Amino acid sequence: MIKIGMAYYPEHWDRALWERDAARMAALGVHVVRLGEFAWGRMEPEDGRFDFGWLDEAIDVIARHGMRVILCTPTNSAPMWLYTGHPDTVQHGPDGRPIDLGIRGHRCTLSPTFRRYAARITEQMAKRYAGRRSIFAWQIDNELENDHCACQACRENFRRWLREKYGTLDALNRAWGTDVWSGQITAWEQIEPPVSKAYMPDWYDPACMLDYERFGAWRTADFVYFERDIIKAHDPSALVTTNGWFPANMPDFYQTFAPLDVAAYDNYPPMDLPEDPEALYSNAFGLDFVRGFKRQNFWILEQLGGAGGCWSPMGIAPEPGMLEGYALQAVAHGADLVSFFRWRSACSGAEMLGHGVLDHDDRDNRRLGEIGQFCRRLEALPDLDKTCLRSPVAILYGPDQEFALKNQRQSRNFAYWTQLKLFQDACMGLGVNVDVISQDAPLDGYKAVLVPTHYVTDPTLATRLEAFAAAGGTVVITNRSGVKDEHNNCVFGQPLPTAFRHLCGCRVEEYDAIGEKRVHIETAAGERFTVTGWCDVLAPEGADVWARYTEKFYAGSPAVTKNAFGAGRAYYVGAVGQRALYRTLLAEICRELAIPMLPDLPLGVEVTTRTGKSGAYTFFFNNTLRAQTFPLDGEQVVLRPMEMKIRTGDGAWV
């Protein structure tokens, strides 16, 4: 069955509470308890002196109540004695100086000294707890990201990484185009990480910046391999993961999770829902994204348990039904384990106002009751973990696109993630399962492949997409595709969308980075849509015109085209629209490909289906704070605010 978890910090509480807390968690329906990710200082209070007695006791208490443990390596928060005794373990900021020591996450994961100490504590844990029945899984570190550290070890490793990639300075200079601004590199030692806040990102070489982000992705994945190998050396059968999140400095998640047994994510959906009907606030995109890391079901290691309040003003309280609805939303998108953060709100430290399930008064409350209701609903569906999402549509994501577009903005109202989310939102709003997968993943089994803003161009992807369309599939390409080569330099001598021009049957005659301005497009059927951010003015080269601009100097020019290609077709979307544009376009594609859909769902109702040998379960989630009604197979379905209803394949509601 789907497993329920809870983050717990026994080191924060008197031992007298442990037994009572474990009993209350077990009674609630909790299966696994997550421990240890910030407790290095308790495990090794002095250099080389280890104390695991308290952790042994906490694990035993949990096991006595029929629960198991997700055990975390504590390397995100090293003890103060390590930082003060070995300053080379501390991250350096953009100014080249060690960052101030605050609460957590100060370590440089490439520091040889830090690696030595991290290996020692991880090995001590692995030796001690390997093979124990009470250990369900291991979590590596905490919320890893592409650290932009400028310490000496990082500088040397960046140069070493570049030498291994390019071999010679001549090759590096050609790739980076360093003739601009007399930027020729004549010695490896001249290369510095492009992290200065004074200039980043506007004045650095985009090719250098892309390589720096790729280097960051490598270092993150290398640290995961480093800790995973230690654990697996002592317990080869251990389940090992880490908790992904979406920071400003995103890693390459496909690299990060490649060596791990399951993908996992920290899921904090919004509680203060916007009134703007165009706002893409749903965390559903992130859930589909995480499922694509390994193209299989995943875990939530931190699920919203109460109002936020860490490092910012305190957030509003979750509305009734919100905790249960959001937890079920995660399950609906493929989560087989949902672990809430945290059992009890902390009484000290930076997170004391970041609320857990229980407040500081330690009494049963509305949130606890709601999570209990969630547990009971899942107990009634014991075979749900044997199901998964089977999707006819895929959205392709590329870390290089994320890296390059973050560092070189296209317009004031243009974002890579916005276009990804718009396509995912349209599929979900039609009741069509959609996978978000790597641009390098196989395309077999899909009927439609959506490729928003493939900015850093992989020509082999264009070839694969042409084969996919020729065999009967539908491809959608959007604006700012084919712009850059693999080194993040503009492609010369070819009209946009360069490598995708043949597939799309059109070229970009001109473009307009309209930013926050708004114009309109109109389809041949007379449907009118608002667009913003970017406008490609298209010239068909065999493609039909699907929509034209109605304003500005390019009024009447094509904005969206549709091209027959072999047994399939390709659309090119030259502008960034609102939600209705994408839902209309996807509905047309679904009709053409005979993909079943629900075209009458109101905005804010999200529908996904999990299927397995035990049957199919369709999840209808009202991700709004107003009641929603819609027709389904001859009946009117009513959803309360934040309510999830589940329907079996034979039409029964469960």
Work out the end-to-end distance of the chain between its first and last CA atoms, rounded to an integer number of angstroms.
Answer: 16
Site of tokens 């704070």: 625
CA atoms in the 13 A half-sphere facing the CB of 404: 24
Structure-token pair, residue 364: 């049963």
For strand 568-573 and strand 474-478, is the pairing parallel, antiparallel, or unpaired?
parallel
What single letter denotes the amino acid at residue 143?
Answer: E
The distance from CA 336 to its chain's CA centroid, rounded to whole angstroms, is 17
Q: Pick the catalytic residue: 302, 402, 466, 643?
A: 302
Structure-token pair, residue 176: 């980076």
The distance from CA 342 to its chain's CA centroid, rounded to whole angstroms, is 21
Distance CA 610, CA 445 (A): 16
In the beta sheet, which residues pair with residue 531?
519, 577
Q: Pick the catalytic residue: 37, 44, 143, 351?
A: 143
Exposure string for 451-476, b = 16+ CB within 10 A, e = fewer: bbbbbbbbeebbebbbebbeeebbbb
Q: Please say if 302 is a catalytic residue.
A: yes
In the beta sheet, which residues pair with residue 284?
none
Distance CA 565, CA 471 (A): 9
Give the list of residues 6+ apart from residue 182 with CB closer than 8 angstroms, or none: none
445 burial (CB, 10 Å; 0-12 / 13-18 / 19+) is exposed
CB 533, CB 409: distance < 8 Å: no
Give the strands of the sheet with 615-622, arranged side by side.
605-612, 615-622, 644-648
DSSP conformation class of 601: P
CB 459, CB 501: distance < 8 Å: no
481: nearest Cα among 549, 543, 558, 404: 404
| Secondary structure of residue 452 in the 3-state scheme | coil
CB 515, CB 571: distance < 8 Å: no
Q: Where on the phi/psi map is residue 480: left (φ > 0), alpha (ψ -120 to 50), or beta?
A: left
CB 474, CB 449: distance < 8 Å: yes
The sign of the CA dihedral 166, 169, 174, 175 is positive
Distance CA 423, CA 421 (A): 5
| Secondary structure of residue 141 in the 3-state scheme | coil
CA 267 vs CA 278, 302, 304, 339, 629: distances in Å: 22, 6, 6, 10, 27
Residues with active-site annotation: 143, 302
